[in-house]
Amino acid sequence: MAYGRKLRMGLVGGAGGFIGQVHRMAAALDGEVELVCGAFSSSPEKSRAAGEALYLAPERVYASYQEMFSRERERDDAMDFVSIVTPNYLHAEIAIAALRAGFHVLCEKPMTTDLASAKQLADTVAETGKRFCLMHNYSGYPMVKEARARIRNGSIGELRKIVVEYPQGWLAGDFASAGVKHQSWKLDPELSGGSCCLGDIGTHAFHLTEYVTGLRVAELCADLSVFVDYKPLEDDANILLHFASGARGVLYASQVSINDENSLAFRIYGSKGGLEWHQEEPNTLVAKWPDRPREIIRTGSGNAYLTPAALGTTRIPAGHPEGFVEAFANIYLEFGRAVRESAAGTASDEYDFPSVIDGMREVAFVKTAWESQRSRKWLPLPGV
Amino acid sequence: MAYGRKLRMGLVGGAGGFIGQVHRMAAALDGEVELVCGAFSSSPEKSRAAGEALYLAPERVYASYQEMFSRERERDDAMDFVSIVTPNYLHAEIAIAALRAGFHVLCEKPMTTDLASAKQLADTVAETGKRFCLMHNYSGYPMVKEARARIRNGSIGELRKIVVEYPQGWLAGDFASAGVKHQSWKLDPELSGGSCCLGDIGTHAFHLTEYVTGLRVAELCADLSVFVDYKPLEDDANILLHFASGARGVLYASQVSINDENSLAFRIYGSKGGLEWHQEEPNTLVAKWPDRPREIIRTGSGNAYLTPAALGTTRIPAGHPEGFVEAFANIYLEFGRAVRESAAGTASDEYDFPSVIDGMREVAFVKTAWESQRSRKWLPLPGV
Amino acid sequence: MAYGRKLRMGLVGGAGGFIGQVHRMAAALDGEVELVCGAFSSSPEKSRAAGEALYLAPERVYASYQEMFSRERERDDAMDFVSIVTPNYLHAEIAIAALRAGFHVLCEKPMTTDLASAKQLADTVAETGKRFCLMHNYSGYPMVKEARARIRNGSIGELRKIVVEYPQGWLAGDFASAGVKHQSWKLDPELSGGSCCLGDIGTHAFHLTEYVTGLRVAELCADLSVFVDYKPLEDDANILLHFASGARGVLYASQVSINDENSLAFRIYGSKGGLEWHQEEPNTLVAKWPDRPREIIRTGSGNAYLTPAALGTTRIPAGHPEGFVEAFANIYLEFGRAVRESAAGTASDEYDFPSVIDGMREVAFVKTAWESQRSRKWLPLPGV
Amino acid sequence: MAYGRKLRMGLVGGAGGFIGQVHRMAAALDGEVELVCGAFSSSPEKSRAAGEALYLAPERVYASYQEMFSRERERDDAMDFVSIVTPNYLHAEIAIAALRAGFHVLCEKPMTTDLASAKQLADTVAETGKRFCLMHNYSGYPMVKEARARIRNGSIGELRKIVVEYPQGWLAGDFASAGVKHQSWKLDPELSGGSCCLGDIGTHAFHLTEYVTGLRVAELCADLSVFVDYKPLEDDANILLHFASGARGVLYASQVSINDENSLAFRIYGSKGGLEWHQEEPNTLVAKWPDRPREIIRTGSGNAYLTPAALGTTRIPAGHPEGFVEAFANIYLEFGRAVRESAAGTASDEYDFPSVIDGMREVAFVKTAWESQRSRKWLPLPGV
């Protein structure tokens, strides 16, 4: 593959919160990427401090993403791609700027907070021919990929019922609590795009649903709630789903489900069998059959019964738990492959990471859910 | 208490299926009740064979419930109450006949299949002054009662979100399969009352929801499906719930969830904590807190931290699993207490078993769900 | 089968503790047995009160087992068998007296507390030709029988390694605690037979091991401890096992394992696979394979993949939890079958309940473990 | 801290197997270490290929560790420490050579295969004053550290009983199976040091036991077995333990426990409570209490109830699973801190990673277990 060296990564954002650290760990894990520069904060001081803590060369720690893009493109050893981990409302403008400056982009979800900028970003990807990856890390777990592969090969038959849930409890308390404060932009309608729970975690659940099943949501009926009153945005969402195929589903997400940590899970039932997965025990996939015992399918490089989709994204033997960072790193690996193949001129049409089109669908999902809530009606999800 | 002997029970139905056997085991478990007579089947031969297998005196095995009621009321040692375990469509007429013949009644759920007969039954209960118990066995589990007591005493605060699920898989296959055949009346619109999944198990989920939370469902939006096409009735139901208190909920029931055995479960979230329970591991209740570890609350006569509601319905020490029959038997125990206190003239206004009013509510629930499905709208649940 | 009526049962002991109640519930569960008489306590008042609470005829509530045996044998409607649930040190003398009086016997474990009386009891069983059943209820679970059947039919190959554990925590605290007080005879060397933890629960673990595997323990090396100092008897036991077949094992039992309720479990590994079972979730058996996913085998009358051993001891459909009482009742059912077939002259040579020989082996096991502890050596288990 | 840059790491071994990859991922994860050189294989071709795949400068990929040490020490940008991931029998000689060449050392376990070389290595550490870390990665899990901190602060009282188990199944089949072949040196007495199961995984269990409890094993009685006959070394070990404090224990390790993946676990019982942990679900620690529900303690940066020991080794919020690599990386972080503080002259006396003394104890443990097996006796563990 191209380059013959580690890919060079720049980072926008990431001085606060934990997601920046996760991106750095995931990028570093497999020795395929090195962080070479960053604009870590809108505060130049914070950005400089972050760069120093990361042992970066001081001249490659920038005060703004604009500065970073313009200075890096002049270097012989310029970054190859940029990862964007800022608050949601900045994703689109930075991504568009990066693409236009000639850099591939890996962007945290949600891609944008409105359909217009989503469309603009999609157009920019098409125009520039650069690689764009939307970070839905949960699709990086080997057992998620195993489930997807099994559904694709028909092992559980025609899909009938899908239950996807994503309960969390971190917004159940009052605003002053520490866990809430440092992510307070999520609660500001201007900055978060008019949605809290759906934008933050509902989009993960929605993407995971479509990714694993291969189905497309055709219409939905949403019931959104605000339980904790300091904020105008929903902290709980229960949504009925109709898929284009005729399958039915329930998707719910919540930030007031006390003590549920990050309990994303799916249960998918087909005409021949079922599959169940829980993110908090990510190395196990349960396969259900009508006439024989359920099976406990496990991540692990030695488990020869796994599909290539899982074996190719598992790093170590069974029983050595692979976690959140490894799943995240799988997205980086696949994105890195696309970047290298792009440089080599061998790029394929399809890579196994979320695309700009996936990002558009999830923006439409959030918008439609809110419209359904306001009208108390079933509404179609606009085709993308 | 009154009688100074075991209570005498008669049984209508129960020659086939497993539910008759469960009633007999539950009634016998605690030594408070003895089965003395029965009309076990609409076939006199089957009824006689069933009575013989149960070591009953031949003269107390009857060819019809009408015969049983008229003959038993003439005996000095007549039965004290009758348990009704026939197909659903017969429940109301038999219960009304029994009450009018002077017998207390314990009736399998659902109480009836239409609102008119439900009302008539409720009126008959009021007129005769006899005890009427609707068998919702899941409310008999000690950990269900523990959850209810904790919610009542405010330990998890004001309720916000309720998720109740009841997936089963036994109707996922074709009609010829053995498990389906012997319960085929459940699939006949005439006999089942126009509902399959909701009437059979959705009513359990609905009753459990209102029983545990103490809340009342105010309106709902239902999405019902028929996935297996030999039947005209729904085999899957996803329902959004609004409670009168302002709480929100999701209730789903399914008979096409392959390999899910009898997976009734609830998760209830309040402003101070949460509670989670799974019927297939009924001796465990999970308590969730915002700022300390979740707790594993366990059935067991020695667990002094339990509320009286759980301690009073637990028979043996922790770690000795109590199951389905014990929960069932708890309903019989409480009903027996009501019968004895009724005879003693010491009856109270409230007993901890499902009432005829609960039965009316669940008939209304099924009816409203189907109307919501047909209209694709949120609909109010008629007050009962 | 013989009798054409319920079998008549008498009870010795059972006024205090929970085990008498369990015997009564287990005997009543299936409608095959009725309790007709008892000598419930060495205190005539307590015995009378117990009999009244059980709605027994006053003339069949006795002040002593001797009175019961002599009076019952003169009745036309005499009891058919007696269940013995007294403190351990009385088991043998009562059982011998009952057999000699012409009654079949079902006896709580351990059978006796010394080898001499065990031998005498075995001789009496042989002489009288009466049925004798030792109550090791854990062997009554369907999934235990499933494991045994699978091992017998070779599905996991030649057995290599067995781990059996039985941790409890109820003796971890001080003597004054309520849970301890009412079973204080277990701590008295005279009354308990010189062993606490091993006699009380170690014998269950030992019997379960030999029952499920079909192997015989050939030698052992024991490490017994007294952690709570008010008692002279062991409250913890760790034992290495060599089986006659060459298999190896670890058996441990403990009464100081705080918050472990009744956590009997086994893991058995053969050359082709493994099996794992936990008593606190008794309806699940885990099957382990070298090259495919582990399987979750479940109790349930509709699970056609089960062996007859499990299907024949399961009462209700999968997902309706069967518990401790049901397992207990399975021993009663099989014992009842032996009693009926004995009367009919159709008795077979082998029944699936623990025998007097099993009882002798477990007495030898406790004795050898204590000798190994004192000598710090591996010792052979005397052949029985 | 010293250096102001990433620490530079060299690697000896790691071209085959998975453990070299794990070291590289763990070292890279936190951005504190960069791999700068290696002697990856005794085959220069393999070493060169490995270095190229890792994007190393060709001149820093060496044909032998001797060459690496002598060439690196001449460079201005020399590695700071070396990680040793060769087969066990080479650990000591390479570690001694590295220390003498002036490099800090991080060494895979077991440290050596005989006591003499263990002693020589310990002396060399003392003479050179260099940092030496033995990689027992399981002690790096946050919940293991939480358990240790809680035991240290007395929350479960005086320790009584410890059960440590480590079942695996990868050596249950025949030699030709792929999983076995590439680690065949583990089965060669010369290369593995006369032990298979104990050296490979028993040492982990032993170290974890002493690490978490703070107790020291005083004597043991071992039962070792060879079940699969192509090899002369034990593949199963059951060991009774006496601790110097009076506590008792059982430790077992197995490589023939089919389908048990990497099931290291401990259960520790004290006079006030208990703790239970399973490596395959490493983010959960169960706390057991005599009079209140058991608690589910969870890894997670926001779980304020955790001790600093766990909070300081947790990277991300609860519910985002941290796995094997993160635990491994925690050892690297602490070792890195020691290296930096050593350079800064601020080194403390105690770091939280396994020492050369721990390594000596585990060599003594394996030796004593084999002697106990041969003599069928309890034997004291030589003090170290």
Whole-number CA gyration radius for chain A? 21
Q: What is the DSSP string of B261-322?
A: -S--EEEEEESS-EEEEETTSTTEEEEE-SSS-EEEEE--TT-TTS-HHHHTT--S-TTS--
Residues of chain A with pLDDT under 70: 1, 175-187, 189-190, 192, 230-231, 384
Task: Give the pLDDT of residue D160.
Answer: 98
Task: Give the pLDDT of residue D186.
Answer: 63
Q: Which CATH architecture has domain C139-318+362-375?
A: 2-Layer Sandwich (3.30)
Q: pLDDT 10s digit of each residue in chain D, 384 long? A: 688 999 999 999 998 888 999 999 999 999 999 999 999 999 999 999 999 999 999 999 999 999 999 999 999 999 999 999 998 899 999 999 999 999 999 999 999 989 999 999 999 999 999 999 999 999 999 999 999 999 999 999 999 999 999 999 999 987 555 455 556 666 676 666 778 899 999 999 999 999 999 999 999 999 999 998 766 789 999 999 999 999 999 999 999 999 999 999 999 999 999 999 999 999 999 999 999 999 999 999 989 999 999 999 999 999 999 999 999 999 999 999 999 999 999 989 889 999 999 999 999 999 999 999 999 999 999 876
Residues in chain D with CB shorter than 8 Å from the CB of C217 are none
Instruction: Give the residue among A23, A12, A22 at the shortest CA–CA distance from A96.
Output: A12
Using a 10 angstrom Cβ sphere, with 0-12 exposed, 13-18 middle and 19 or more buried, the burial of residue C177 is middle
CA distance B262 to D20: 47
Do the beta carbons of residue C278 and residue C165 sit within 8 Å? no
CA A97 to chain centre: 21
Give me the interface pTM, i.e. the ipTM. 0.95
C7-138+331-354 CATH fold: Rossmann fold (3.40.50)
**Tokens read off for B21:** 């056997």
B→D interface, C-beta within 8 Å: 287, 291-298, 304-305
CATH code matching the domain that covers A140-316+362-375, chosen among 3.30.360.10, 3.40.50.620, 3.40.50.720, 3.30.1330.10:
3.30.360.10
Instruction: Tell me phi and psi for residue B269, to 5 degrees.
Output: -120, 130
Residues in chain D with CB shorter than 8 Å from the CB of A283 are 280
| Domain-wise residue ranges, chain D | 7-138+331-355, 139-316+362-375
pLDDT > 80? residue B144: yes
Task: Give the pLDDT of residue B194.
Answer: 77
Which residue in A has a C-alpha nearest to residue B236's C-alpha?
Answer: A161
* Interface contact flag, B258 A236, Cβ < 8 Å: no
Instruction: Give the residue among A130, A74, A56 at the shortest CA–CA distance from A97.
Output: A130
Provide CB contacts within 8 A for B185, sequence distance 6+: B87, B88, B89, B191, B192
pLDDT > 50? residue B167: yes
Nearest to A295 among C291, C295, C298 (CB): C295
Candidates A171, A204, A280, partner chain D, best to mutate (most D CBs within 10 A)? A280
* Interface contact flag, C6 B55, Cβ < 8 Å: yes
Between chain A and chain C, the number of residue pairs with CB atoms below 8 A apart is: 28
B→A interface, C-beta within 8 Å: 160-161, 163, 165, 167, 169, 172-173, 221, 223, 225, 227, 236, 238, 240, 242, 248-250, 252, 254, 256-260, 267, 269-274, 288-290, 294, 376-378
pLDDT, tens only, B338-352: 999 999 999 898 899
- Tokens 């970073």 found at: A68
* Interface contact flag, D316 A22, Cβ < 8 Å: yes
> CB-hemisphere CA count at 13 Å for C360?
17
pLDDT > 80? residue C122: yes
pLDDT, tens only, B207-247: 999 999 999 999 999 999 999 876 678 999 999 999 999 99
pLDDT, tens only, C370-379: 999 999 999 9
Task: Give the pLDDT of residue C178.
Answer: 45
CA distance B121 to B129: 12
Task: Give the pLDDT of residue D178.
Answer: 45
Provide CB contacts within 8 A for C336, sequence distance 6+: C7, C32, C33
Residue C225 host element (H or E): strand C217-225
CA distance B144 to B139: 6
Q: Write the class of the CATH domain D139-316+362-375.
A: alpha beta
* Interface contact flag, B295 D292, Cβ < 8 Å: yes
**Tokens read off for A118:** 């989503």
Instruction: Give the residue among A142, A146, A134, A103 at the shortest CA–CA distance from A335.
Output: A134
* Interface contact flag, D295 B295, Cβ < 8 Å: yes
Do the beta carbons of residue B162 and residue B243 sit within 8 Å? yes
Residues in chain D with CB shorter than 8 Å from the CB of C257 are 161, 267, 269, 274
* Interface contact flag, D296 B291, Cβ < 8 Å: no
Q: Is the peptide bond prior to D110 cis by the omega test (within 30 degrees of 0)? A: yes
D→C interface, C-beta within 8 Å: 160-161, 163, 165, 167, 169, 172-173, 221, 223, 225, 227, 236, 238, 240, 242, 248-250, 252, 254, 256-260, 267, 269-274, 288-290, 294, 376-378
Do the beta carbons of residue B331 and residue B137 sit within 8 Å? yes
Do the beta carbons of residue D94 and residue D39 sit within 8 Å? no
CA distance D165 to D170: 16
pLDDT, tens only, C278-309: 999 999 999 999 999 999 999 999 899 999 99
Nearest to B298 among C261, C324, C326 (CB): C261
Q: What is the mean pLDDT of chain B?
A: 94
Whole-number CA gyration radius for chain D? 21
CA distance A97 to A93: 6
Nearest to C304 among A291, A296, A298 (CB): A291
Task: Give the pLDDT of residue C195.
Answer: 85
The terminus-to-terminus CA distance of chain C in angstroms comes to 33
Which residue in A has a C-alpha nearest to residue C302's C-alpha?
Answer: A291
D→A interface, C-beta within 8 Å: 4-6, 18, 21-22, 24-25, 28-31, 35, 54-55, 168, 170, 178-179, 260-263, 279-283, 298, 300-302, 315-326
Q: Averaged over B55-79, what is the pLDDT?
A: 97
Strand-pair category, B104-108 with B132-135: parallel
Residues in chain B with CB shorter than 8 Å from the CB of D310 are none
Q: Which chains pack against A, by 3+ Cβ pairs within 8 A? A: B, C, D
If one counts every other C-beta atom within 10 angstroms of the C-beta of residue B324, the result is 27
Which residue in D has a C-alpha nearest to residue C225's C-alpha?
Answer: D248
Task: Give the pLDDT of residue C86.
Answer: 94
Task: Give the pLDDT of residue B322.
Answer: 97
Which residue in C has a C-alpha nearest to residue B20's C-alpha?
Answer: C316
CATH number of D7-138+331-355: 3.40.50.720
Task: Give the pLDDT of residue B178.
Answer: 45
Angle at CA of residue A130, ends A126 and A132, nearest 5°: 85
Instruction: Tell me phi and psi for residue C177, to 5 degrees.
Output: -65, 145
Using a 10 angstrom Cβ sphere, with 0-12 exposed, 13-18 middle and 19 or more buried, the burial of residue B377 is middle
Which residue in A has a C-alpha nearest to residue C284's C-alpha?
Answer: A293
- Tokens 């195993």 found at: A146
Q: Which CATH architecture has domain B141-318+362-375?
A: 2-Layer Sandwich (3.30)
